[in-house]
């Protein structure tokens, strides 16, 4: 592991701990050259599916793209980074467990919207407006109306 401060590859592990779900090992390291400490996170590298984009291109599955999209939608909302990370972890695990070698980006987008719908309605509408590429305000208001009618059906008070 290369030191982020001095780029030396000589370091020692001071402390190792498992994450709460047991999927990630957090290691506290100390560089033997500059004596500064840093943290690394290790996870098992699993074979992820290839994502088929709308235009037909194929690219490797990238959990960071999903994380960034959800984080942008949840900006200034009462949703913690831990909740977002847990959501992305759950989605990534689900896609891996399905065992498909390829997955359409539309399936990923729909799944993100489904998860955001139950997590935070404002984040859901934000994500939907970008994902569905609303062309005008009428499409946006139709989505909000649908959200409100679903909410009324589920919570008739």
Mean of the pLDDT values across residues 81-89? Answer: 92
Mean of the pLDDT values across residues 102-111? Answer: 92
CA distance 31 to 46: 29
Q: Are 77 and 123 spatial neighbours (Cβ–Cβ below 8 Å)?
A: yes
**Residue 21: C-alpha distances to residues 8, 9, 80 (Å):** 32, 29, 17
pTM, entire model: 0.62
Domain ranges of the chain: 11-43, 50-148
Q: What is the pLDDT of residue 30?
A: 97
Give the tens place of pLDDT for each residue, 14-63: 999 998 878 889 999 999 999 999 999 888 766 778 999 989 999 998 99
CA distance 143 to 124: 10
Three-class secondary structure of residue 53 per DSSP = coil
What's the pLDDT band for 81 if we cut at 50, 70, 90? very high
């Amino acid at each position: 592991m290369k030191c982020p401060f001095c780029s030396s590859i000589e370091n020692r592990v001071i402390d190792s701990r498992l994450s709460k779900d047991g999927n990630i090992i957090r290691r506290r390291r100390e560089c033997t050259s500059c004596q500064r400490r840093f943290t690394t996170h290790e996870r098992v590298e699993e074979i992820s599916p290839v994502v088929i984009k709308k235009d037909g291109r194929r690219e490797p599955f990238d959990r960071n793209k999903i994380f960034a999209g959800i984080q942008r939608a949840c900006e200034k909302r009462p949703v913690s980074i831990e909740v977002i990370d847990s959501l992305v972890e759950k989605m990534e695990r689900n896609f891996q467990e399905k065992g498909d070698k390829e997955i359409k980006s539309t399936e990923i987008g729909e799944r993100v919207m489904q998860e955001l719908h139950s997590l935070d309605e404002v984040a859901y509408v934000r994500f939907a407006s970008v994902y569905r590429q609303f062309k005008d305000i009428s499409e946006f208001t139709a989505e909000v109306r649908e959200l409100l009618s679903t909410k009324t059906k589920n919570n008739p008070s």
